[in-house]
Chain A
Amino acid sequence: MRWIRDLPVRAKVGLVVGAMALALAGEIALSLSAIERLRVGGPAYRGIREYRDAIETITSLESDLNAYQAALFALPSHLERDALRQGNARRAEIEARVDGAFQAVSSLALAEEIRVGLESAHRTWTEFRDTCRARVVPAIERGDPGGIRDLTSGPQARRSQRFIEQVATAVNQARLEVEALEVAAARDARRSVWTMAAAVAAIVAAALAVVFVVVRSITRPLRSLTASANRIAGGTIPAQRIALGTSDELGRLADVFDEMLGTVRTIVAGAQRAAARLDESSRELLAANRQMSEGAKEQATQLQAVSNETAHMAAALHELSSTADAVSRTASNNAAAAEDGALAVSETTAGLDAIRTATDEVRRALVSVMEASVRIRAIVQTLQDIADETHVLSINASIEAARAGESGHGFAVVASEVRSLAKRAADSSKEITQTAAGIFENMRAAESAVGRNITAVAKGAESSLVLGRSFEAIHESAKATHASVHEMTGVLREQVGATQRTVNVVGAVSRVSEESLAATEQIVELGSRLQEVMHDLENLLGRFAVEEDAPPGPGSPG
Chain B
Amino acid sequence: MNSPVPGAIRVGLLLSALSLACKGDEGSKAPAESEVLTYDGSTVVSSLILPGALPAFEKKTGVRFGKIGTSGAGKGLKAALAGEVNVAGVTRSLTADELAKKPYFQIIGYDALGIWVNEANPVRGLTKAQVKSIFTGQAKNWKAVGGKNLPVVACTEKLDSAKATLETVKAVALDGAPYGPVRQMDQFEDCLKLVAADPGAIAAATFAAQQAGVRPLVVDGIALAPENVRSGAYLLSRPILLVTRSVPSGGLKQFFEFMLSPDGQAILGQKFIAIR
Contacts and interface: CB of A to CB of B under 8 A. Distances in A.
Interface of A: 113, 116-117, 119-120, 123-124, 127-128, 154-155, 158-159, 161-163, 165-166, 168-169, 172-173, 175-176, 179-180, 187, 190-191, 194, 197-198, 200-202, 204-205, 208-209, 211-212, 215-216, 219
5 contacts: A155-B235, A158-B233, A165-B241, A204-B10, A205-B8
Contact of A215 (B1, B8, B249): B1
Contacts of B15: 198, 201
Given A123-B230, A172-B106, A201 B14 contact: yes
Contacts of A155: 220, 222, 232-235
Nearest to B24: A190
Top 3 A-B residue pairs of the complex, sorted by shortest distance between their CB atoms: A162-B232, A208-B7, A158-B232
A168 to B, nearest CB: 7
Contact of A116 (B94, B237, B241, B276): B276
A127 B275 contact: no
Contacts of B234: 155
Given A169-B107, A179-B247, A190-B25, A120 B276 contact: yes
A169 B276 contact: no
Contact of B233 (A127, A176, A202, A208): A127
A119 B276 contact: yes
Contacts of A204: 7, 10-11
A485 B35 CA distance: 168
A117 B3 CA distance: 62
Interface of B: 1, 3-4, 7-8, 10-11, 14-15, 17-18, 21-22, 25, 29, 93-94, 104-107, 220, 222, 227, 230-235, 237, 239, 241, 247-249, 253, 256-257, 260-261, 275-276
A199 to B, nearest CB: 10
A155 B227 CA distance: 13
Contacts of B107: 117, 165-166, 169
A159 B253 contact: no
Nearest to B237: A158
A162 B231 contact: yes
Given A113-B261, A200-B14, A211-B4, 15 more contacts: A116-B276, A120-B275, A155-B235, A163-B231, A165-B241, A169-B107, A172-B105, A176-B253, A190-B21, A197-B14, A198-B14, A198-B15, A201-B15, A204-B7, A211-B3
A180 B249 CA distance: 9
A201 B11 contact: yes
Contacts of A127: 231, 233
Contacts of B253: 176, 180
Nearest to A115: B276
Given A116-B276, A124-B231, A202 B11 contact: yes
A365 B21 CA distance: 173
Contacts of A215: 1, 3
Contacts of A166: 107
A162 B241 CA distance: 12
A123 B231 contact: yes
Contacts of A172: 104-106, 247
Nearest to B26: A187
Contacts of A201: 10-11, 14-15
Contact of A216 (B1, B241, B276): B1
Contacts of B227: 123
Contact of B232 (A159, A180, A197, A211): A159
A212 B3 contact: yes
A173 B222 CA distance: 30
B275 A117 contact: yes
Contacts of B29: 187
B220 A154 contact: yes
Contacts of A205: 7-8, 10-11
Contacts of B104: 172, 175
B230 A162 contact: yes
Nearest to A202: B11
A474 to B, nearest CB: 126
Contacts of A163: 231-232
B93 A161 contact: yes
A173 B260 CA distance: 10
Contacts of A120: 230-231, 275-276
A158 B235 contact: yes
Given A124-B231, A161-B93, A179 B14 contact: no
Nearest to B20: A194
Contacts of B241: 165
B10 A194 contact: no
B239 A212 contact: no
B238 to A, nearest CB: 10
Interface centre among A113, A169, A202, A215 (most CB of B within 10 A): A113
